[in-house]
Every structure is written in C-alpha cells, then in structure tokens.
Structure 1
Amino acid sequence: MSTLQVRDVPEDVHRILKSRAAASGRSLSEYTLGILTRESRRPTFDELMERVRLRGSVDIGDSAVDIIRKDRNAA
C-alpha cells in the first residue's frame, strides 16, 4: 500500500468530507480512499474516446431516415 498526502485542502472542503465520513461511519481516510478509488476506476473522456476508436466503426444498416421513409411509403 502507498500513502498519499494532500496539502492545502480548503477548510470548507475538509469540513464537508469529515462530516460525510462521520455520517457514513467511516474515518476521513477511509471515506476519501473510497472517493479516490471510485474516481480512478472511471475512465476519463479521452480514455473512453480511445476505447471507442479502437473498436472501429459499426455498420448499422439503413439510416433512421431511410427506415422512416420506407415506412411512410408503405402506408
């Protein structure tokens, strides 16, 4: 396990986090670790776009406009 120290945390942020930690029955350290863990598991926008790019394009067949036109013409 590593240790992370965060400096210059504004008083209001510290107070809110400490209050939320207490309300959830956890220490401030446990609470902030949970926040950091959740955040680190969420891909950034750039990471998400890279995943999409790597999957390549998908042929979805007819466009929505074509489907609607066909349906209208059939009626």
Structure 2
Amino acid sequence: MSNLQVRNLPDDIHSRLSERARRLDMSMSEYVTRVLRADLDRPLFEDWATAARRAGTPRPIDTLAAIDATRDEYDPRPPAP
C-alpha cells in the first residue's frame, strides 16, 4: 500500500475532515480514502459524454439509484459490522 502526503492543506479543510471522520467513528486516513475512492469511482463528465455520443442513443437513467448515491455522498453510513 502506498502513502500520500498532502502539503499546504488549509486548516479549515483539515478540521472539517477530522470532524467528519470522528463523527463516522473512523480515522482520518480511512475517511479520506473513502472520499477519494468515491470520487474515482465516478466517471469524468467528459468520458461519460464521449461514450454517450459514440453510443448514439441516450441511456436510461436510474433516478432512484442516482438520488441514493448522492444522498450517500453527503451522508455516508458507516459500514455494517
């Protein structure tokens, strides 16, 4: 496993990350890894738009899943024990 060091992280962001991790009962490292993984699991808009143009037909959108995913992004639930 690799390490990542973030330089010049503003104090307010550090405080908010720390508080969020504490509220979710996880280490800051675990929380930041979760945030990064969630971001990287989403395609970039440019990639999505290019794929949609190539397909030629619009894909149906699962609205309920999109709402649930967004809700989880803003209010993540800790993993089940």
Tell me the TM-score normalised to structure 2 length.
0.66
Question: Deviation digits for residues 34-64 of structure 1, max 9, x if unmatched?
Answer: 0000000111110111110221247xxxxxx
Mark the runs of 5 or more structure 1 residues left unpaired by the alignment: 59-75
Identity across the alignment (%) = 38
| Larger RCO, structures 1/2 (Cα 8 Å, 6+ apart) | 2
User: Is residue 31 of structure 2 the alignment partner of residue 31 of structure 1?
Assistant: yes
Aligned-residue CA RMSD in angstroms? 1.3
Mark the runs of 5 or more structure 2 residues left unpaired by the alignment: 59-81
Q: 1:24 is matched by which residue type in structure 2?
A: L
Matched residue, 2:47: 47
Tell me the TM-score normalised to structure 1 length.
0.70
Aligned length: 58
Structural mapping, 1:1-75, within 5 Å: 1-57=1-57
**Higher CA-based Rg:** 1
